[in-house]
Structures are given as structure tokens and as C-alpha cells.
Chain A
Amino acid sequence: MDWTAILLTGLAGVLATAGPLVMAAIGEALSERAGVVNLSLNGTLILSAMTGFAVAVATGSLAAGFLGGAVVGAAAALLVAVAGITLRQSQVAVGFVLALTLKDLAYFLGTPVMGAAGPRLDVLPVPLLERLPVVGPLLFRQDVMTYASFLLIAAAWVWIYRTRPGLTLRGLGEQPAAAFVRGADVTRLRYLYTVAGGALVGLAGPMYSLSVKAGWKGTISGLDGLGWIALALTIFGGWHPLRIAAGAYLFAFLQWLGVVLQPFLPGIPSQVLQVAPFPFMILTLVLVNVGQAEWTGRLLALLPEGGRRRLAGLLRLLRANPPAALGQTFERE
């Protein structure tokens, strides 16, 4: 194999490993756009990965496995919605407790299938298109869920920015009172988006356990932390599907780079390279956020005209504002 082929295989792998993150982070973005923050991702992802694998092993059906994962994700999100919307508890508190509890629950209930041999999603090349140079091996020689993650990016973008329900969705998170006056059933829609977003997170779990990191190995499944990353991607991506996807691909690319470069960096323990992309994500978050800070504006005002405009433009490009009513209960007057 020549270098281009190796590179293409690697990059195709990056697109596949980022798939679950895309799925989970866009699911979370839908929920947060509606004004509900579901902090349970890290637990939901691990529990749905275990459930999806266990169901697939028991039934021999991959579809049933993914369905099982989605049900787990939807159920976890429903708990957050009931506590946060109906019972007016802190969404952050309930989500955080679930993040810890569901993780341990996965380890507890997953013992019987630990290390079991299970089915795995096959690559399903798209006829004709897979022969295209470069694009073919990258985009059209993936498994069905990776295609789904590609489609979700486009679908979510169209839904949020180009449809009427999408307009209402944005209103739910920004100005729920205004959405209510315009006839939207705020509470019902928030439930709907939270549960649907949770189901997408629940699909991400089996995407690991039935494809990207096939199998269930308990605490050493290598899934711990990814849910937190998905949550960070939602914010880093400014609740915007395209930017979220860009972030997920960047993260997966950095992880791949860590693996590829390891032989060339003998001084750095492999454990460190594996976690290196995580701090990088946070640095990016800082960059995204400084654009908003009040002092940045004052600092910019001191710079000479030309540089200032360019820098301000760059910061504006990075900028992302959270939905104004995120995490708040909506009270009908």
C-alpha cells in the first residue's frame, strides 16, 4: 500500500470514529436549542453502548441493538425532562447524577456480556460512488450508521435553519414566552426535543459497541469521557450542526494523530497521547468564548484600525451564543 492509500484509510477511519460524537452532540444540541440541558451524556452513552451490545448479542439482530440503545437514551432524557421541566429541579443536578449513576449501572448490569463475542456492523459500500477517487473511500465505504451521521448533519441544519418547526425550536430556547404567545406548546415541545435528542445520544452508544469500538469490556471499554467530549462539542459548535461536526472530526483526527505519531514520540507515554485531545477541546472552548467577553472588546479598541478589524472578524467567526433560556423553567403567566 502506498502512502495515499494509508492516509485515505486513516481519514476514513477518522470519519467513522467521529460518527457517534456527531450523533450525540447534535442530539444534545437539539435538546439545548429547546432550552433543556441534558448533562447525563457520559452515563447515557456508556449505558446505551452496553445495552445495545447486550441486545444485539441476545437477539442476533444489530437493528434491535441500536433500538435498545435509542430507548435507553430516550429514557434517560425523559428523566431529565420530568425533573427539570415538570418538577422544576436543577437540570444540571439531575443530569450530573445520571451521568455518574448510569455509568455505574452499565458496569453493574454488563457483567454477563463482558468480553462476549458479538455481531459487528459491516461496511456497506455505495455502488458506483465508492469508485470515485478520494471521495469514494472516504465517504462511500462506511457502515450504515456512519452514513446516518453524515445525513444527520445535513438534516439537522435544514431542520433548524430552513423550516418553520425549526424556527419554533430556536424560539423555545431563546424566548419561550414569545414562542408560547405564537401558539407553541412550550412544555410539550421541550419534552419532545429532549427525548428525541436523548434517543440520538442513545444511538451513539451502540455505534461504539457494535462498530467503532466493538464489544463490551466493562470499565476498560474506553468509552468513559467521550460523553463529556460530546457535551463540549455542542458548545464548541455553537449549537450549530455544521460546526459541531467540524469539531467532532477535528477531535477524532487528533486522536488518530496521537496513535499514528506515537512511535515517533517515545518520550511521551501512550496514556498521555490518548488524553491529549481533551485539553485541546477546552482550549478551543476558551477561544470561542473570549470573543464574547467584555474585556476583549476594550482590548480590541486599543489596537490599530486594520489589525483590529481583522481580529474582530476572526473572533466574530468563532463566536457562539448559548440559547438565552437554556436550563430555565418556563412559567406560563
Chain B
Amino acid sequence: MIRARSLWLRTGGPVIGVGVAVLAAAGLLLLAGASPLEAFRQMGLGAFGSVNRLADVLVVWGPLVLVTAGLLVTFAAGLWNIGIEGQIVMGAIGVTGVLRLLQDAPLPPWLVLSIALAAGMTAGAAWAVLAGLLKTIGGVNEIFGGLGLNFIASALILWLIFGPWKRPGIGSMSGTEPFPESLGLPTLAGTRLSLWSLALGLAAVGAIALLLSRSALGLRLRAVGLNARAAFLLGVPTWRNLLVAFGLCGALAGLAGFVQVTAVYHRLIPSISSGYGFLGLLVALIIRYRAVWVVPVAAFFAAITIGGIQLPIALQLDSSLSGVLQGLLVLGVLFSDGLRHRAAARS
């Protein structure tokens, strides 16, 4: 009896958590005076209703997968890389800086883009390592160091867009002057979707999954994450591994910034990160840091984000319902996990 119950809890727990989250979202929709079924239908249509919508979902999916893959590394090392938003921003700034510098140079576009990619990854990694140094040398918890660096990065991007990099005439929230088409990643006709973004995302997940499960570095990172002190006593240089984890994650965040600038917006805008860093943290939490789930769950979360855009158009509801639904899903799974452990501990 007890065993049957615990088995049911193990498999059914997350499902119930997701179910409760959806019910809670339905309740909120009722509270807002809308029909939940109609709202969910509109979100489904908004995400999958046409080829263009589907392409938009994949436009979100690419960078989201990149940052989530990076976060798997920092979570494996036991780190809460909240600074990921700033790392995406710094990556995008690095990319834009290179493109601005070289756009009139007599160089082939692929070379300029490659240099920009390297610069973006380096800038993202450097910003992440800075959070790591604050932690290891300064003793500042990475959550607060990361938040502070996020604020600095957003101040910097605003200053650049309204200051030195402003459009001829007057700077505005619409961003810098767009780059010539040759300096963008090729996109599918009529969409903002670049197959490069998808390929980079898939490659990143694959590489990170292998790194964490099959390599010596992955083993060391996980050892540090499980018990930093024990790992240190057994001869694993803790702080160096922490910095490596930050660097890898930051590089992937910078890569996401590269995709945002060269494939999606073709310029630098103040909200260049689109909040994908925090969204990636949610995805990493709900999949409990397991690499196999990154691809499907990131797609699901991307679909919720894009589907929500339909809400104000069709039902005069605020699109922030997407964020609420995503958060509720994560909470549902966290709570059902907790209940499961509690039931297991009792029996």
C-alpha cells in the first residue's frame, strides 16, 4: 500500500504539480474576468497558429537553450548565476562594439561575424568571471554580486545607446542604428529565424551534457557543487573550478547575446536580453538541471512566451500572464517535489 503510494507519488508528483499550476492560472484568468479555455486556446494559436508564429517560438528557443545550457554548468558547481542577464547584455555589447568597429572595414562579412562572436563570448565570460572573483576573492555571495553586475550592465547599455552609440540625431529606446544586412546571420525568408541560432543551441546542449557527464572537468565541477569543502580537502582546486564554471556559463550567455544582435534585432536595444537569462533559470529549475530536458522544456516555455503576445490582441489581457504561468509551473514542480520527499521520508 505504502509502496504503491510512493510509486504513484514519484511518477505522478510533477504531473500533479503542473496540473495545479494550470488550475491556478485558470483561476487567475477567471479573476480577471476571462474564460480560461479561450485564453489557453488563444495562447496555443499565438504560438503554433501559423508558420511565422512557430518561427517566433524558435527565435526565442535558440538563445533560451544557450543560456539554460550554460546555467547547467553553474548549477552543477552549486552556483546561483543570477548575473546571467548582465552576461547576455555584455555579450551583446561586445558584439555590437566589434560590428561598429569593423562594419566599414574591407573584410569579408563571415570574418567580421566570427570576430564579433568571439568578442561576445569573451565579454559574457569576463562578466561572469567577475561575479566569480567577487565571490572567491571578495566574499560577496554570487546572487548579490550577480544582481549588482546586472544593474551595472543595464546602466552601461543605456549609456551606450543614449550616449556614444546613439543614432544620428537623437538617441532613443529603439536602439542603435541597424547594421547592414550582410552583417546579420542569414534568416529564413520572411521570418526572424536563423538556423544558426538553432544549431548553436543544439550544439551547446550536447557539448554541455557531454562535459558534465563524461569529462574529468565535469566530475570536478559536480564534486565542488556537492560539497565544496570536501572537494577542496581531496585536492580539487575549488575556486579555480568555480571560475571555470562561471566562465563557461558567461560565454554561452554572451553567445545568446550574439544571436540576439546578429539574428533577431540587427542592432543593440536596451532590452537586448529579453529576460531570457531569468527565464533560463526557471527552465533549469523545473527540469532539475537534467540536460536531456533542456530542448523540450525550453521549447514549451518559449511557446508560452510567444503565445502570451496574443492575449492583449485577442482578449485585452496583459501578456504578463505568460510569466505568471511559467512561474506557477516551476512552483508547482518544486512543491510537488517537496511533498514527494516528505512522503518518502515518512514511509
Contact = CB atoms under 8 A, between A and B. Distances in A.
Interface of A: 39, 79, 82-83, 86-89, 92-94, 96-98, 100-105, 107-109, 111, 218, 225, 228, 231-232, 235, 267-269, 271-272, 275-276, 278-279, 281-283, 285-286, 289-290, 292-293, 295
B281 A104 contact: no
A94 B341 contact: no
A108 B320 contact: yes
Interface string B318-332: 101111101110110
A108 B143 CA distance: 27
Contacts of B324: 101, 104-105, 108
A109 B137 CA distance: 43
B97 interface: no
B149 interface: yes
Nearest to A42: B147
Contacts of B151: 225, 275, 278-279, 282
A110 to B, nearest CB: 8
A269 B171 contact: yes
Interface of B: 28, 31-32, 80, 82, 134, 137-141, 143-145, 147-149, 151-152, 154-155, 158-159, 162-163, 171, 278, 281-282, 285, 317-318, 320-324, 326-328, 330-331, 334-335, 337-339, 341-342
B147 A232 contact: yes
A281 B139 CA distance: 15
B155 A279 contact: yes
Contacts of B152: 278-279, 282
A88 B342 contact: yes
B155 A100 contact: no
B155 A108 contact: no
A83 B338 CA distance: 7
A107 B145 CA distance: 27
Given A96-B82, A278-B155, A88 B341 contact: yes
22 contacts: A39-B143, A87-B341, A92-B80, A96-B82, A96-B281, A97-B331, A98-B327, A100-B327, A101-B327, A101-B330, A101-B331, A105-B327, A107-B318, A107-B320, A218-B318, A268-B159, A269-B171, A271-B158, A279-B148, A281-B148, A285-B144, A285-B148
Nearest to A90: B334
Given A232-B148, A275-B151, A285-B144, A97 B334 contact: yes
Contacts of B28: 105, 108-109
Contact of B323 (A104, A232, A269): A104
Contacts of A232: 144, 147-148
B148 A290 contact: no
B187 to A, nearest CB: 29
A283 B130 CA distance: 13
Secondary structure dominating the interface of A: helix
A77 B306 CA distance: 31
A111 B318 contact: yes
A39 B335 CA distance: 16
A153 to B, nearest CB: 22
A100 B331 CA distance: 11
B148 A89 contact: no
A289 B82 CA distance: 19
Contacts of A107: 318, 320
B338 A88 contact: yes
Contacts of B281: 96
A96 B82 CA distance: 9
A283 B82 CA distance: 17
Contacts, number: 144
B323 A101 contact: yes
Given A89-B335, A97-B285, A101-B327, A276 B155 contact: yes
B134 to A, nearest CB: 6
A83 B340 CA distance: 12
Contacts of A101: 323-324, 326-328, 330-331
Contact of B331 (A92, A94, A283, A295): A94
Contacts of A218: 318
B144 A293 contact: no
Contacts of A100: 278, 282, 323, 327
A160 B282 CA distance: 36
A266 to B, nearest CB: 11
B337 A89 contact: yes
B148 A282 contact: yes
A83 B82 CA distance: 21
B61 to A, nearest CB: 19
B218 to A, nearest CB: 22
A111 B80 CA distance: 33
A88 B343 CA distance: 12
A79 B327 CA distance: 13
A286 B31 contact: no
A269 B144 contact: no
Smallest CB-CB A-B distances: 6 pairs:
A87-B338, A282-B148, A101-B327, A104-B323, A278-B151, A269-B162
A92 B145 CA distance: 15
Contacts of B342: 86-88
Contacts of B318: 107-108, 111, 218
Contacts of B82: 96
B70 to A, nearest CB: 17
Contacts of B327: 97-98, 100-102, 104-105
Given A271-B159, A272-B158, A293-B139, 17 more contacts: A83-B338, A87-B335, A87-B342, A92-B80, A92-B143, A97-B334, A100-B327, A105-B324, A232-B144, A235-B141, A267-B163, A276-B155, A278-B148, A278-B151, A278-B155, A279-B155, A282-B147
A269 B158 contact: yes
Given A109-B31, A268-B159, A98 B331 contact: yes
A265 B145 CA distance: 28
Nearest to A231: B144
Contact of A93 (B162, B328, B334): B334
Nearest to B146: A282
A83 B137 contact: no
A285 B338 contact: no
A292 B139 contact: yes
A272 B28 CA distance: 36
